[in-house]
A and B are shown apart, each in its own frame.
Chain A
């Protein structure tokens, strides 16, 4: 699923969080944790935008764990650009073994042919 298809299928509440996270990142001179992390190992060459969303606990004593969404991408191809490649919900962490190779394949395609990653606007 292309990253925009993933984005368009998000529930409205999650989409709003993604929009705001991307808006804030676009204002940051230097991207860093907690919203961004350079990946290593099998995901080397990629970075991830981290969007954690706190869940309302509905009166329960303990806070529920946040919902974690990740967008894999890379800085480029030009200056001051970041290309979004793959979006997914992180549940166990095992998702990276599928999503990183997919993102790396797409990165290769974008670097070969920039028109495969048209400019997009958020929110």
Chain B
């Protein structure tokens, strides 16, 4: 069999949760996890380089690299880990966490978990933009309050192949007609294919093109966000 069953991760977590009831196991698990996973990560970060080559990158010797990769060593200092992080341009996070957070990390079997990517400004920017829009989508924070921010919405909608719908439903928005008109114009300007029924609409729904939202029953959070955005854009 090439692949594990889809429930393999949850199966493992169930077993692990049972063992974690034992205090001695818990303590040992945390210690073993720190030692062995860090050693594994350092080896993964080394990639195809020899220990000597990696040592040169870290300004240290092959024997130090060998020790860092030794899962039984366990005496690496915070400073030496920070040094590895800086030299490989990776982030390092040392913090106490609750057990649920630890379980989530244990369940993450992605390659990125073992060998995280180095700093990349474009990736960071995309992540921040996506996060801002995600927040906006659940109504946490209106985000397109100026042209720069509306560009973000624009790229979000285009990148994710989202569609914009507007319709009249008889419901009343709290925004003024003037605001709705401004938003409508802005939408028309940016998304030429969007059909907006003049200024008479009172609902705007943004959603995946493949799963066209039911305009009659829009997601309350999205409507609220849009209402807020329309208000802000005046």
Contact = CB atoms under 8 A, between A and B. Distances in A.
Interface stretch (A14-22, A37-45, A83-91, A96-104): A14-22
A21 B33 CA distance: 9
Interface stretch (B21-29, B125-133, B147-155, B181-189): B21-29
B119 to A, nearest CB: 23
Interface residues of A, number: 29
A75 interface: no
A27 B19 contact: no
Nearest to B17: A123
Contacts, number: 83
A75 to B, nearest CB: 14
Nearest to A55: B72
27 contacts: A11-B24, A12-B25, A13-B24, A13-B25, A14-B28, A15-B19, A15-B28, A16-B19, A17-B32, A17-B36, A20-B32, A20-B33, A20-B37, A23-B37, A23-B106, A24-B37, A27-B113, A52-B71, A54-B72, A54-B73, A78-B2, A119-B1, A119-B5, A121-B8, A121-B15, A122-B15, A123-B16
Interface of A: 11-17, 19-21, 23-24, 26-28, 34-35, 52-54, 66, 78-81, 119, 121-123
- Report the 8 A-B pairs with minimum CB-CB distance, sorted nearest first: A16-B28, A12-B25, A20-B32, A13-B28, A16-B29, A12-B24, A24-B40, A20-B36
Interface of B: 1-5, 8, 11-12, 15-16, 19, 22, 24-25, 27-29, 31-33, 35-37, 39-40, 70-74, 106, 109, 113-114
